[in-house]
Structure 1
């Protein structure tokens, strides 16, 4: 960081127009009074900047006009200047009584330090696709999970929506690289691979998140990095007097769509329209009522009718009974500070979220202690310890049963007790969870210890990291309605533990125009998982619940365990010449116990080059302040699950000897061994351009990439005569390519008002290059030359209307399938590629405004499908059977059901099912006003009176508006895992339709106080 320091002597008689300095000795002859002003690189004053006398706790903060006054011991004192968003600086007093200091924002600095894995690097020296995420601007949003702050902000990093309390969104970087291998992004927290739930992390504890996107950057993590890497760094203490930060916020939450299930009148109208060929006359093309139609002939639930045959007047609001006003209460406190010898940060956070569905709760208490001590000038040690304790007690309503509950029935019997099956033998009562005793607790304990020694050779250091992750999951439940009303109770306990030990040697040397850096790593990881479950069924009394499982007539015990270990070595060299020509070369060797005996180890190399063109003498374009070209190639890997290469044994009930004999448990092989199963490898090129224009008023990055994943892990079908249906093997290749662009512009910058805009856009395409066997794997949805998200099925040309000519096997109201072959008959040959689930491109736009103490920002996030892209399943076919007649639905859904009186309806409704029932797909494209925040800093005059440094009040909104043609709750959220018709494998169904879960809209009020 460039630091501009001007020292000027002033006397009592001389007053500068914008700076007032007080000089000379104070009444205390042993001290000197220093005054000055701190401004940013644009000359604007900086408030709340810390000015501390080095080696002491003596410090002050700048006022609103950037001025400060501090008494120091003598003329040899050094001032340490720190502020959020600015690089720390040290200024020698040297007997001068005035110091004007210019700090440059970290985000505007090319020498900003970026975490790159096993070390850091100046942004100017980066050769790979590494980007620091903007989490500061989203810290006021109601995000219980830290990665929610990244949604749409980093090109190439795709973060999904959260629809449950304390949930973790889906995460992917640069598309999908595998068919059935591990798809998880590698998370590294403070240098240690992190495998716990991200919901365990208090977002307020996080200092930065850096994203490694291309293979040349991720290769340092070798076998685990094919899906990209998130490097999360927690906050540390800084030298100076203790800083105390308090924050509290409360959020109101409700669904982004105001849907609810049908009431009595709406349900009866729905039933009438469903039975359109009975309720309306054929002569009128089923648009005029048939006077002979009797609604009671089609009510299939007996309790919906009175003894005299009339319909009951019950109108129970199931939706209202199972939902509530959602909320999030967040309270956080942190204390940090230190001296040159020791620094500390202590924090506590409490989060209490009540989601829209009753009993969908999340409570988290988290504590953290980050300590670092400089034992000797050449030796420092530190510890980063945290604990997170999550409570997710309660059984929420089963959503699909809630949607189907008929408003003509109630949840209770005549005696007031809960009725398990209000619709007789149909779906169970969704409110049964209120009578279930449920305890779900997750305890996460993390301890990282490190020591770093500066060795006698200048520039050479050794660091050892030792990290432990320990997770205890307890799930206890007693359900009086379980096991067919006889009662069920269980205790399920699982424990996960892992450790990481890294030995890291770093060497940095500057020789003339040459800069050399080297990193060597030798490390090991091991993990262990165990689970024990005790379950009892059939209780005469369940009053003691899961604490007396011996009271159950039928008792069962289950247990499971697995362990893995890894050993790795890594070497990286960074070379810089004349600050213009940059080289990074890396090689990593990994060994993993999960692979076959013949394929335990693999090597992952990478190399990247960069050229700072703007520093060349021939480059004379005044508008371009900085221009760097980057290019690199690297290989990273993808792990398989535990024991994938081994023959596995399954157990189950086997034989009964004699009429009254006991059941004997059998053991049998359930999978075949593959001693040659090896790693998936992803090799890829990346070319990037970093630029800064017009005196850094415009700055941005462009990246283009192409990767190829080979030796794909896949369960290949084999003849069942072998005794098995499949064997995990390495098959085929997949290609990924894309482009990413981000730019930030400082539109207006003056003394009182600032406006900046950040825009990012990215596009990704993948396709299958090669598969095993005869080519396409239709039952798995895999096609050579097509996307991994290719959709194969029947094209729908609408719905058969009353006057249409309808082929044999179909009826009015069925989906009309396009006859691709032209043979006049619909068959499997009429299936075709309809499109893909992958989007065409994503973009985000953020605008930030500030005027004196007021700041406003809003962020728009969008995903677009283009032509036949970003499609999701969105279909329904209703036939006039008992199930369709008794079930309730969301009222909005019924408005889209086809009938002769609603010919534009999009969902099929007919007397009988068609010969083929196709799946309907819909465009999921959307534009979302995702985050809005308005904040106000109380004037310094006021906060000084109440004895604090700063008070910030804010109000935010999240997911306020969504513009989309998608029908249902939300196009972005994932529905869950399903097995599509005609497929043998499961997929994650994308897009929450009318049977999915709602996304929450939030309004937040909050306050931040700095002491």
Structure 2
């Protein structure tokens, strides 16, 4: 073979020509030669002629043609199965009938068969020329590997309450935040999405309910073994699987385990040619819920009634009301201020590209993602952008040594209105609906006061609030097998360095807004009262270092299997913050601190440190694959506590019995593939409390002291004040965790059932000794570890998978019931017994009890009532029996906002490339408080409140007479305003079509899928009437609700 280079080179580059031609031609050929394990001789001459010769082979290769068919467990053909020669990138795919043909170099070659949703199968060629393969589904394989704390276990050998979610399931949800994709999928996990605001739309997560009233309640999130990495901001396409540890299986995480643990495993490289995957989508976001409010004439009518109820004169003439009601005068129109603030549709773009592959020595996974989420705020620059990159590389340095280098980096840009969303929405519901957004001359309305027009407040006219986040997460790890010491012995570990830098710039400026005098037809600018020209900058730097090392042993001796490890882990973190502020800038075109005045300037900073150190281990034992035992411990030290109280021991033990493996069971009971009973106990901790509670803390305060001497106006004197009394005995919360359950599989593993019953007893919860210090002293003691709570419940799941001919379908249901109560809380003796929280749910409601609404004056006169009560007011019950209605009559009720019941339904079907997947999520036994007029004295009432209010003409009304937030008889926490927050929501639906693999085969494209879907498509529940999302915890309902997302996308595999 001869190759000639004809490239024209500059004179100064023409010598030596062979060296120049070699990089252009021979290197690529050498790579091919190396891939084929062939030896070649290369000769180069000065005329750039390159000759490559291959020596004669002593043993010529005999190409073997292999044919075969790939089917599933039911004997149905599997099209599109990847068939390749192990150790090479060459391969083919099965056709629509599952048939394949492939050429191999010799009989020692091994074929690797892989298909999405099925286990990888390897088959050595040997003397066969026809190889038929049956692939087993991952869903039914009890040998499937499950990620647990600091290791992996076979699914059939897990003895803890562990649930998993596959990465492909996460991708079906259109939400930009990963946490929302977990809703409805697994038992024991409570997922509550409070908001759809860009960049702040992550869900609140609870594992098996609420267990603490003095510390944090969120589960620990661990990504690729590293704690505290952000779950929501991960690229969903990077996720291999999600594991939820719900019982003593989490105790291996010691002082951070009591709230449960969520483990995220990202994708890694695989042997084979580079697989390029693209996933892109365009989505439309819409608000799910918002309270519809009254129009102009209804507002005037309502506030006339309110003022008359308060003994005042009606502010609006009936003739004026009639003009607005008629609606035929352009000068008398209504403004829907919520519509002026929010728009119907907002776009969302998400694109991800990944490359996965490798050889026997090096495997790799690379990915990049870009996300652009706009806001449903009208006329707003609010926007969230995210860019993720990831590189996971595994290398075999030697037969016994593997190393990995993982690097993940992320940039986030969050642009918010400078006026807070809460303030804007408050103004929106407080605005007179008879005021226009803009006056006839086009200038902005100044609103009720100070130019606070909510349509302007969401725009960039008042300034901006921009935050940039930069995150880098490198991890370097190794795995060293030590068979020359002890067979089955290994040493592995990693070092992880997490860096996060946050810079925020908040620029405020006055804006133009006008009042209008119709009599003189003049406008007055309220610019001077809107804001001042100012700038604030904040910079935060956080770095966390994690080091882990473990010595592991894994071996089998006849009927005995042992897996054990002992390890050490250390995590340290540092946080630094710098803040600066100046006002009265020279110009709004110079948004820099140096242009500001020194008057009222502020420059400050703060810092904090944190750290934990641990010695941990676990041992698992199995006898005849029937009797399972596991024990773990963690000796944990936490920086949050005094030096003599930083260390604690967190042991756990779990037992399992595969009764289905017993001879008496197999011989007498048919149709049961597996029945395994499990029991676990563990002592777990929670150190999610405020830092430095054990030391005396002081606050530095600036006190201006005024002087008139020597022409000085004033000076500032810094003083230290005692800000908190220390508790030198503070320690972590401790939880006694007990769980019993079983796993069962039937019908050739097509039907799977899990059931668990649990009991969490948490003690040493931080609380104050309110009973020890009389209230009249005005003193308070520091929090102490004296609280105690109990949480009991059950959770279970049922999953069924079936394939008939070309039709595959699956159905799953999961259910969780939790009931928590406070066992001890040192409550003041002055509190009536019926108000004490002991014995009730941790977040139970304290409310006035009611008998409905007073209909007549006689009812008012003949019952205890608040001063000024009249027909149409809430009928409050005198619980104390003293003949008066006071705060002592409020009663603790069993209901709370945290649902006692959570459930989900997971459904899927696929036929000849067309697939439909749905996830339903629901909750029950939860009560949400709605206080429709609590936002302020001028709040426009919701439509339902106006239509159903009490009036003399409507004495049997559903709601009280006209009132506002200042009304002490109606705008109060009462059981009248508690509403059933039960719901069933279509959380995720996706329909897709996978084109036949041969469609784009000639272009090198392996698979193409188009899909359309929706998230939060619709909801069934009684809260819909009030325009409040049942997942919210906002009693006013005035917030940025979660969004309904319609998505259209494309998946391409090369």
TM bucket (normalised to shorter chain) is: 0.7 to 0.9
- State the distance in 1 between where 2:411 and 2:1031 align: 27
Q: CA contact under 8 A between 1:168 and 1:198: conserved in structure 2?
A: no
* 1:652 lines up with 2:701 in the alignment: yes
Q: Please state if 1:813 is matched with 2:847.
A: no
Residues 566 and 821 (structure 1 numbering): CA distance in 2 closer, same or farther, change over 3 Å? closer
2:749 counterpart residue number: 696
**Paired residues for 1:156-171 under 5 Å:** 156-161=188-193, 162-166=195-199, 167-171=201-205
2:724 corresponds in structure 1 to: 671
CA contact (8 A) 2:582 2:593 kept: no
Aligned residue number for residue 906 of structure 2: 846
Match of 2:238 in 1: 205
The answer to whether 1:465 aligns with 2:525 is no
Distance 1:833-1:260 versus aligned 2 partners, 3 A rule: closer
Please give the alpha-carbon distance, in whole angstroms, between the structure 1 residues aligned to 2:216 and 2:63: 63
Tell me the residue number matched to 1:32.
64
Deviation at 1:916, TM superposition (A): 7.6
Q: Matched residues in 1 for 2:828 and 2:457: separation?
A: 51
Alignment correspondent of 1:871: 927
TM-score (norm 1): 0.88
Q: Report SS of the residue matched to 2:664.
A: coil
Decide which moves more: 902-911 or 140-149: 902-911
From the CA coordinates, give the structure whose radius of gyration is larger.
2
Matched, 1:223 2:271: no
> In the TM superposition, what whole-angstrom CA distance separates every residue of 1:821-879 from its partner, at most 9, and x where no partner exists?
555432344322333213231111122111111111222211011xxxx1111123589
- 2:358 corresponds in structure 1 to 338
| Counterparts of 1:970 and 1:37, CA distance in 2 | 56
For the 8 Å contact 1:969–1:999, the answer to whether it is kept is: no
**Within 2, Cα distance between the matches of 1:823 and 1:203?**
60
Distance in 2, matches of 1:722 and 1:276, equals 44
Residues 142 and 328 in structure 1, CA contact (< 8 A), matched pair in contact too: no
Matched, 1:181 2:215: yes
Partner of 1:349: 369
Contact 1:878 1:908 survives alignment (8 Å): no
Match of 2:1038 among 987, 991, 995: 995
Please give the alpha-carbon distance, in whole angstroms, between the structure 2 residues aligned to 1:778 and 1:470. Answer: 51
CA contact (8 A) 2:296 2:333 kept: no
Over 3 Å counting, the alpha-carbon distance change for 1:936 and 1:811 in structure 2 is same
Distance 1:907 1:391, change over 3 A: farther
Matched, 1:246 2:299: no
Query: CA distance change for structure 1 residues 269 and 56 in 2, over 3 Å: closer, same or farther?
Result: same
Residues 1:875 and 1:796: Cα distance change in structure 2 (over 3 Å): farther
- Which residue is equivalent to 2:509? 480
2:894 to 814, 835, 851: 835
Q: Distance in 2 between matches of 1:721 and 1:257?
A: 45
- Compute the displacement of 1:899 (Å): 3.8
Distance 1:815 1:387, change over 3 A: same
Asked if 2 retains the 8 angstrom alpha-carbon contact of 1:247 and 1:1006, the reply is yes
1:711 paired with 2:732, answer no
Q: CA deviation at 1:922?
A: 1.2
Name the CA distance, whole Å, in 2 between partners of 1:840 and 1:775.
30
State whether structure 2 residue 1036 is matched by structure 1 residue 1009.
Answer: no
Task: Map 1:411-450 to 2 at 5 A.
Answer: 411=437, 418=444, 421-424=446-449, 429-434=454-459, 435=461, 436-450=463-477
**Structure 2: how far apart are the matches of 1:174 and 1:507?**
33
TM-superposed CA distance for 1:782, in Å, is 5.6
Alignment CA distance shift 1:183-1:279 (3 Å)? closer
Instruction: Answer whether contact 2:534 2:596 (CA < 8 A) is retained.
Output: no
In 2, distance between residues paired with 1:277 and 1:430? 27
Q: Deviations over 1:649-688 (max 9, x none)?
A: 1122235153433121211110111111011111111001
Distance 1:636 1:164, change over 3 A: same
Superposed counterparts of 1:852-891, under 5 Å: 852-865=912-925, 870-877=926-933, 884=937, 886-891=938-943
Query: What are the equivalent positions in structure 2 for 1:530-609 lying under 5 Å apart?
Result: 530-539=576-585, 541-548=587-594, 550-551=596-597, 553-609=599-655
1:721–1:256 CA distance, 2 compared to 1 (3 A):
closer
Task: Report the counterpart of residue 968 of structure 1 in structure 2.
Answer: 1026
For the structure 1 residues 536 and 93, does the alpha-carbon distance in structure 2 shift closer, same or farther, using more than 3 Å as the test? same
Gaps of 5+ in 2: 1-59, 512-528
> Mean Cα displacement is larger for which, 338-347 or 164-173?
164-173
**Alignment partners' CA distance in 2, 1:720 and 1:275:** 43
Structure 1 alignment gaps of length 5 or more: 1-27, 283-291, 305-309, 977-988
What's the counterpart of residue 454 of structure 1?
A: 481
Q: CA deviation at 1:321?
A: 3.2
How many Å apart are 1:781 and its aligned residue? 7.5
Q: 1:782 to 1:720 in 2, by over 3 A?
A: closer
Partner of 2:406: 384
Q: For the Cα contact (< 8 Å) 2:683–2:737, is it kept in 1?
A: yes
For the 8 Å contact 1:975–1:996, the answer to whether it is kept is: no
Quote how far apart the aligned CAs of 1:153 are: 1.1
Q: Of 920, 935, 960, which residue of structure 1 is paired with 2:992?
A: 935
Question: What CA distance in whole angstroms lies between the structure 1 residues aligned with 2:284 and 2:786?
Answer: 50
Q: TM-score, normalised by structure 2?
A: 0.84
Which among 374, 390, 393 is matched to residue 415 of structure 2? 393
2:160 paired with 1:128: yes
SS of alignment partner, residue 806 of structure 1: helix
Q: Output the CA distance in 2 between the equivalents of 1:341 and 1:528.
A: 37
Match for residue 192 of structure 1?
226
CA deviation digits over 1:270-306, x for unaligned, max 9? 32134238899x9xxxxxxxxx977249999xxx9xx
Q: For the structure 1 residues 259 and 669, does the alpha-carbon distance in structure 2 shift closer, same or farther, using more than 3 Å as the test?
A: closer
Query: SS of the residue aligned with 1:709?
Result: strand
Deviations 1:686-717 (A, max 9, x none): 00100011222321100001011111122445
Query: What is the DSSP-based 3-state SS (H/G/I as helix, E as strand, rest coil) of the residue aligned with 1:200?
Result: coil
Maintained 8 Å contact 2:704/2:714: no
Whole-angstrom distance in 2 between the partners of 1:462 and 1:234: 22
Please give the secondary structure, in 1, of the residue aligned with 2:816.
strand
Answer yes or no: is the 8 Å Cα contact 1:638–1:681 preserved in 2.
Answer: yes
Contact 2:994 2:1008 in 1 (8 A): yes
How far the C-alpha of 1:108 sits from its partner, in A, is 1.2
In the alignment, the residues of structure 2 paired with residue 41 and residue 776 of structure 1 have an alpha-carbon distance, to the nearest angstrom, of 70
CA contact (8 A) 1:877 1:909 kept: no
SS of the equivalent of 1:320 reads helix
Whether the 8 Å contact between 2:542 and 2:574 is mirrored in structure 1 is: yes
> Which 10-residue stretch deviates more, 822-831 or 806-815?
822-831
For the residue of structure 2 that corresponds to 1:272, the secondary structure is helix
- Asked whether the 8 Å contact 2:547–2:570 carries over to 1, the reply is yes
Deviation at 1:972, TM superposition (A): 3.3
Superposition pairs of residues 263-278 of structure 1, within 5 angstroms:
266-276=295-305
Q: 1:907 to 1:76 in 2, by over 3 A?
A: farther
Alpha-carbon RMSD across the aligned residues, in angstroms, is 2.9
The answer on whether the counterparts of 2:179 and 2:232 sit within 8 Å (CA) in structure 1 is no
Q: 1:622 aligns with which of 662, 670, 673?
A: 670
Distance in 2 of aligned mates of 1:723 and 1:832: 25
Task: State whether residues 385 and 446 of structure 1, in contact with CA within 8 Å, keep that contact through their aligned partners in structure 2.
Answer: yes
1:514–1:781 Cα change, 3 Å: farther
Alpha-carbon distance in structure 1 between the residues aligned to 2:86 and 2:830 = 69
